[in-house]
C-alpha cells in the first residue's frame, strides 16, 4: 500500500467517524428539542439540573450539522479524489481554526473588551427580561445558584429592573447570603455576593490546564486535517498534470 493510498484511507475513515458523530449529535439535538422531557427521563440520575434549563437541543443541532458537513466533504473528497471537495474541506477547517485563534487572542489580550461586550448583552437582559422571559430567568437562576453569584457584576444589575419593580423592591434570593426571599438591596449590599462574570473567570482559571489541553488538542487535529487534505489535493494536482 502506497503512501497516498494509506493517507486516503485514513482520511476516509477519520471523516466517516466525524460524519457519524455529527449525525448522532444532530439526532440527539432534534430529540431534545422535540421531546426534552423524555430525553432527561432516560438520562435519569445522570441528568444535571442545568440541562433542564439550557436548551442544549439547538446547540447539538448546530454542532452536529457542522460535523456532518465536514465529515461528508472530507470523506467524499478523499474517496472520490475530488479536488473541489478537498479544497472546500480545507477552507472550512481553516476558517474555523482562524476564528478559534482570534477568539483566543481576544480572550487573552482584550479581556476587558470581551467583558464590555458581554456586559452590553447581559445587563439589559437582567434589567428587562429577567423574571418575564422564562428562558432567560431559568438560565440566570441556574447560573447564580450553581456558581453562588449575583447578576453579571453584582446585585446592582437588578436595581431598577422589571423584576425589582414587580416584586416590591426585592432582588433574586441568590443575591443574599440567606438565599431566602425577600432579598432587599440593603441586605444584598451587606452580603457582597460576587458577580457571575468574576465567578466564571475564577472557574476558568482553576481549570486552565484542562481548557488549554482541550484547545491544544482540537487545534492539533484541525492542523492535521488541513495538512492531510492539502497533501491529497496537491498529490491529485500532480497526478492530473
91 with 172, same domain: the answer is no
Q: What's the start-to-end Cα distance of the chain, in Å? A: 23
pLDDT of residue 6: 82
Residue 178 sits in a domain whose CATH number is: 1.10.1450
36 with 77, same domain: the answer is yes
43 with 89, same domain: the answer is yes
**Is residue 58 included in any domain, yes or no?**
yes
Q: Which residue has the cell 456558581?
A: 147
44 with 81, same domain: the answer is yes
pLDDT in tens, the chain (241 residues): 577 788 888 888 888 888 888 888 888 778 767 765 554 554 444 444 444 434 566 777 888 888 888 888 888 888 888 888 888 999 988 998 898 888 777 766 766 676 777 778 888 888 988 988 888 888 888 888 888 889 888 899 998 899 988 888 889 988 988 766 688 888 888 888 888 888 877 777 777 777 677 778 888 888 888 888 888 888 876 654 4
**Is residue 125 included in any domain, yes or no?**
no
**Is residue 207 included in any domain, yes or no?**
no
70 with 141, same domain: the answer is no
Give one word for 173, left, alpha or beta, with left for phi > 0 and alpha for psi -120 to 50. alpha
pLDDT of residue 47: 46
In which domain, by residue range, is 179 found? Answer: 130-201
84 with 149, same domain: the answer is no
Cell numbers standing for residue 160: 431598577
Which of 161, 159, 143 has the alpha carbon at shortest distance from 197? Answer: 143
- For the chain, the domain total comes to 2
151 with 75, same domain: the answer is no
Amino acid at each position: 500500500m502506497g503512501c497516498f493510498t494509506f493517507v486516503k484511507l485514513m482520511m476516509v475513515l477519520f471523516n466517516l467517524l466525524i460524519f457519524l458523530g455529527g449525525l448522532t449529535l444532530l439526532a440527539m439535538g432534534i430529540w431534545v428539542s422535540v421531546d426534552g422531557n423524555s430525553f432527561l427521563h432516560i438520562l435519569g440520575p445522570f441528568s444535571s439540573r442545568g440541562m433542564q434549563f439550557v436548551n442544549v437541543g439547538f446547540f447539538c443541532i448546530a454542532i452536529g450539522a457542522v460535523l456532518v458537513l465536514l465529515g461528508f466533504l472530507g470523506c467524499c473528497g478523499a474517496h472520490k479524489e475530488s479536488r473541489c471537495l478537498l479544497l472546500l474541506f480545507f477552507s472550512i477547517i481553516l476558517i474555523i481554526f482562524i476564528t478559534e485563534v482570534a477568539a483566543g487572542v481576544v480572550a487573552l489580550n482584550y479581556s476587558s473588551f470581551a467583558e464590555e461586550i458581554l456586559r452590553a448583552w447581559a445587563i439589559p437582559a437582567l434589567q428587562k427580561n429577567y423574571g418575564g422571559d422564562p428562558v432567560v430567568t431559568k438560565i440566570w437562576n441556574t447560573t447564580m445558584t450553581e456558581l453562588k453569584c449575583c447578576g453579571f457584576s453584582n446585585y446592582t444589575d437588578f436595581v431598577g429592573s422589571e423584576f425589582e419593580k414587580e416584586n416590591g423592591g426585592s432582588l433574586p434570593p441568590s443575591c443574599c447570603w440567606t438565599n431566602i426571599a425577600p432579598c432587599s438591596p440593603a441586605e444584598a449590599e451587606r452580603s457582597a455576593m460576587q458577580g457571575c462574570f468574576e465567578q466564571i473567570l475564577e472557574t476558568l482559571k482553576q481549570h486552565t490546564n484542562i481548557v488549554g489541553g482541550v484547545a491544544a488538542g482540537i487545534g492539533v487535529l484541525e492542523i492535521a486535517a488541513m495538512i492531510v487534505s492539502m497533501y491529497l489535493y496537491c498529490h491529485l494536482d500532480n497526478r492530473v498534470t
